[in-house]
Structure 1
Amino acid sequence: EDGADSCRTDSKGIAPGSSVHSAPQQVCWRTDFYRRLPEACVKSALLNDCVKYRCGQIRASSHLGSVFVMGSLENPSVTLDDGRDCLRLMVLDYDDTLCPSSWISAAPERVHAATDADAECLRRLEDGIEALLQRAEALNCKVVIITNADEDWVRFSSQQFLPRIVPLLQNLRVVSARRYEHLYPGRSVCWKAAAFTHVAKAFFHGEDPSGTRPREIVSIGDSNDERLAVRAAAAPLDATAKAIKLVDAPSLDTVACQLVAVTAALPFLAAAKTSVDVDVAAVLAYVGAAHRDDGPAQDAVQRVWNDAAWGLLTAIRFQDANPAPVTDGTPGSPVSPSITAQA
């Protein structure tokens, strides 16, 4: 924790208003940081990768705000492969990913009246959704919403709480995974796997019948169902599965904040050459420990999310450099190759 605090302090002290482009300055900063760490930490491969990556980001940018600062939706300061030759399908969940459904369910009266603070947060959420979709388009993603809810709920909730994104949703395909419920009663993960497979298969075969272009399926959602479904769908289609698992039962503010962090991380997720599976809650737990004494003030919350955005980028890079074996599903999982075969 002391090392992480030092890393944050030094990087913020060096970067703003300075030109840290020369190798000697980089080496000096990194060496000084390592000197303050216990020997066991210095030998950690994960720490080594994280520090090298952080140094690279400082070197590549005249300030840290372009990617890491909460609320900044500028282009990343490093050059990344935009995947123009790659067929990239992005599957978004809806409830608690785009729409703050847990927040709505906790107080149904909000359908009729929201506080000024809630209204402002909903406007920030609309900004975040627009920015996410714009970034996805810039990265050549075909975006589809696959949800366990029905289409009527998507229409009603977006009109009631997120009216600015209604025109955007009208341009996206919305698929209810419940259309597969009769095939797998009581097994929601199987509905999602079947829906993912149908949508991905149609997209890939329609765009590239010969199957010569690289394929990716990117999943962003709050449930473990999506994490399993994207792997189950990707394997038989020879596609790379990439998943970002969002926070369970998030508050309204969390829904808005995590979309900003995901938008910042999206180019790095697209640039990864291997399968990626990142849990935002795990990243928050790690960076939140370093801020446990910051208090509940809004600027403290913002600092946590600033570091969470950086944590997502680092986790993506680390997994890309250290790929795990790819399987059709986890051992003992209800998702199996037979599900995707039937789909």
Structure 2
Amino acid sequence: MTTSASAMKTRCLITGAGGFIGQALASALLAQPEVSHLILTDTTAPAHPASSNASKENGKPPSVHLHAADLTDGKHIQWLCDQEFDCIYLLHGIMSGQAESNLELGLNVNIDSVRRILDQLREKKPGVRLVFTSSTAVYGPPPDPDSVFSELTAPDPRSSYGAQKHIAETLVNDYSRRGLIDGRIVRLPTVTVRPGKPTGAASSFASGIFREPLSGEQSVLPVSKDLDLWVCSPRTVVKNLLLAKNIPTEKYDRKSRIVNLPGITISVQQMLDALKAVGGEKALGLVHEKKDEATQRIVEGWPTRLDTTKARGLGFVSDGPFERTLKEYIEDYTEGQH
């Protein structure tokens, strides 16, 4: 593999491409001059991403292929890994709340499918560039509110989702150490505000308490207002996923491909204050508190302060003020631009 992805035409595959981040990433990739080919897959064929700013090669936009694939089925994985691509984003997964309530499904999707994909790649596409999205849920709860976590902090997950992500991280890291793939593991903050419907993630409320009220609908807050979260905006996470692909291999730590992506620490109360500042009293009044102990317990198990020195040294970008995130959401998803 070349050490400069931008110096060559790139063909990318995205799993989990039907989700919000997958669609946003696909749209951003279409605008990259080096991208000539996109393969998008999910359990049902993903929608064609927005491509108004797509780059063109010889007057033609990148080709886009949409496929339905069950990644718990070995035959589907074999077929997918036979396609032509030199970069793969593994975005598929069972989210935190659902992984906790359905252990078998979480194991099949979050571990077994990743292992099968990696084994197909090391045989059919050795050295392929791979970006794996992980989570700070691998860490477990902070020992005290001021604890700062880095990539050197030992994971101690307290949820099935965190444990499954940690196992998959270990596989990607080891396969990269052996030179079988060129992996990049990015631990995402909670991405908010997400458009669309609520998901199976325990953190789904972190989008719902903005998305629904800003549309004039009621929303439930299932956690305490003094709870802190580590978050980033959709625009920031997409920028960083693009960067993860393009950073030269030699710049990554040879011992570990894990990077904590930048975010900001914010309390639920501060998030509600931002909602009031942007949407007014009317929007704030549509948020109703209804404590859910299971959700509170899962989210309390995630770190809220992370050392992002490694990420910033690699060129990953930081987030802005949370009010700006809300204004970006309104601009991107409620004014007909997407």
**TM-score, normalisation: structure 1:** 0.36
Q: Which has the higher contact order (CA 8 A, sep 6+)?
A: 1
Structure with bigger helix share is: 1
Structure with greater Cα Rg: 1
Structure with bigger strand share is: 2
